[in-house]
Amino acid sequence: MDLLIKNAKVLTMNESMDIIENGSITVRDDKIYYVSKEGVVPPDFSSANTIDAKGKLVMPGLINTHTHAAMSLLRNYADDMPLEKWLFEKMFPTEDKFTGEDVYWGAMLSIVEMIRTGTTTFADMYFFMEEVARAVEETGIRANLSRGLQCFDEQFDAETDKRLNEAKELFNNWNGKADGRIRVYLGPHSIYTCVPDYLREAANLAKELGTGIHIHLLETQKEAKDSIRNFGCTGVEHCLKLGVFDVPVIAAHCVHLSDNDLEILVKKKVSAAHNPGSNLKLGSGIARLPEMLSKGLNVCLGTDGAASNNNLDMFEEIRLSGLISKGFHLNPTLIDANEAVRMAVSNGAKALGIQDEVGVIRAGMKADLMIVDTNRVNYIPKNNVVSALAYSSNSLDVETVIVNGKVLMEGGQLKTIDEEKVIYQVEKRVKQLSGK
């Protein structure tokens, strides 16, 4: 169906960050059909379906490049603990009790939160991923999905390994599905949860399937030290040796990089998913963001799971990414507003290999858009809209979200999800899981 958005301020997110003051965008089927500076509507266009965005901002939707959607079931469940203790004593044992249905409803809860806060694509690593795929298909959001892989057994058999087989199945069943909104990567969890041969096997499988890898990398100092002790090299060098970087890679965190690590990541065109909220909350450290960007590394943003953040609000990550770097380095010129917003949109699209489809408002691109109500008081006076996004915005000012040409939220009303039902199901299941 045709859709017209008129009277909007349009942040195109093209190379030169062009802004159209009184623009209109016409959407046909899943794509942006025409972008006009003077409110021109193509003559063959039926504008029955019109959104008046007067005084508001239209821009590409945000891209959350690292999360574990169903972990929202564990939001505020175990906090203020070191990562290893948190993961091995709290997260893994509780997650072992999850059923496929639990994961489905946890993913639905996260998708509600993501749509409400302007995220149109997310990259997810977890288990029962067929259920996450089902949630993505039904709700209309776009996603990059990976079955999380881990193996502590040196004697594993790749042919019969349950997780590797599920990953293959997920790829065969879902890659390119849901009108092309779903891509499937492989998700070896990390260098400390996968024995080296298993990691090599995952890399080989990714090559064989012609897909990419989503992995956690050098999140904590402990991981960095253990890598030197156990493998005699840094985590990045370890992945390089095992062939992990021979395919497109989203490497989450990359907090503890050496100079050589940084060079390797740039050379191998790895994308680093920076998760400032999670890194701060788990006391993991502060990534070398200014250097990562100045060396030419593609850095995108992620929230991580809602158990370690504890929300999926990408506006918060945009703000944190800039503020931490400025404060830590005593230098307010680092990570300007343009750079911070770019990480959440263009760099995210590049990290997921979908930069030719989303991340820019231009005719022919997929219509993944959000409308932010910039008439609200925190945007006044309207001096600089990119600064407003980075420093004075609030994710709840997102009022309309469109993915693949379909309106998923309009004026704050979700169109594809029964939010009350999702909350009811989540509350019920969490009570059952905790034995109450």
Contact residues toward Zn ion (CB under 5 A) are 304
Cα dihedral 368→371→372→373 (10° resolution): -170
What CA–CA distance (Å, rounded) separates 131 from 366?
Answer: 25
Sequence-ordered strand ranges (E) for 130-265 = 142-149, 182-188, 213-217, 249-253
Question: Cβ 162 to Zn ion, closest distance in Å?
Answer: 21
Q: Measured from the CB atom, is 261 or 304 closer to Zn ion? A: 304
Which of 118/187 has CB closer to Zn ion? 187
Task: Give just the sign of the alpha carbon dihedral 311, 317, 321, 326.
Answer: negative
Nearer to Zn ion, 304 or 373 (CB): 304
CB closer to Zn ion, 250 vs 343: 250
Place of tokens 């059909």: 33
Whole-number minimum distance, CB 66 to Zn ion, in Å? Answer: 6
To the nearest whole angstrom, how small is the minimum distance from the Cβ of residue 100 to Zn ion?
21
Residues 6+ apart with CB under 8 A from 311: 75, 113, 277, 303
Looking at beta carbons only, is 131 or 304 nearer to Zn ion? 304
Tokens of residue 367, six digits: 């219509």
Torsional sign, CA 39, 42, 43, 45:
negative
Q: Which residue is at the shortest CB distance from Zn ion?
A: 304
Q: Considering the complex, what minimum distance in angstroms separates the CB of residue 285 from Zn ion? A: 15
Question: Judged by CB, which is closer to Zn ion: 30, or 304?
Answer: 304
Nearest approach, Cβ of residue 92 and Zn ion (Å): 13
The single-letter DSSP state of residue 69 is G
CB of 304 to Zn ion, least distance (A): 5
Q: Are the CB atoms for 324 and 332 separated by under 8 Å?
A: no
Query: Which is nearer to Zn ion, 140 or 277 (by Cβ)?
Result: 277
315, 341 contact by CB (below 8 A): no
- State the minimum distance, in angstroms, from the CB of residue 278 to Zn ion: 7
> Which residues are CB-neighbours of 126 under 8 A, at least 6 positions away?
68, 69, 70, 71, 103, 132, 147, 148
